[in-house]
Amino acid sequence: MSKAVEKNGSVFAVEDKYPITPGHLLVIPIRHTPDWFSMTEGERLDADQLMRVLQARIKAEDKKVAGFNVGSNCGDVAGQTVGHAHIHLVPRRSGDITDPRGGVRGVIPEKRID
């Protein structure tokens, strides 16, 4: 696993091994738990606080970042490939894809809003 870039209480953040965009991070609970739904309220609160800190840092360090995707795949049918809870924080820049409309709906191409 990559070295933690930041920690907050019960969670830590690492760089994604296969980043979607530069600066893509994962926020992960220290305690083993299968997915976002199995995280405790405290873990989710720590994760939310950490994502806010990371979001502000990323925007301060890269003025081209204009938005973010935040998400968690829960279960095999949702695309979860790592059996440990983690939340993706994906910085987005204008023009990083031709048409970003639909956002997370793009995981099922025919559900994208065009």
Identified catalytic residue from 24, 32, 84, 86: 86
pLDDT at residue 99, rounded to an integer: 76
CA atoms within 13 A on the CB side of 53: 14
pLDDT at residue 38, rounded to an integer: 98
Active site residue 84: no
Q: Measured on CA atoms in the order 22, 6, 106, 82, is the torsion positive or negative?
A: positive
pLDDT at residue 96, rounded to an integer: 87
In a structure prediction context, what are the per-residue pLDDT tens digits for the chain, which is 114 residues long?
Answer: 679 999 999 999 999 999 999 999 999 999 999 999 999 999 999 999 999 999 999 999 999 999 999 999 999 999 899 999 999 999 999 988 887 777 776 666 666 665
CATH code where residue 51 lies: 3.30.428.10
Query: What φ, ψ does residue 88 adopt, rounded to 5°?
Result: -85, 135
pLDDT at residue 58, rounded to an integer: 98
pLDDT at residue 112, rounded to an integer: 64
Question: Structural domain tally of the chain?
Answer: 1
Comparing C-alpha atoms, which of 112, 93, 91 is closest to residue 103? 112
pTM, two decimal places:
0.90
Q: Which domain holds residue 24?
A: 6-95
Residue 106 lies in a domain: no
Residue 110 lies in a domain: no
* Beta bridge mates, 7: 12
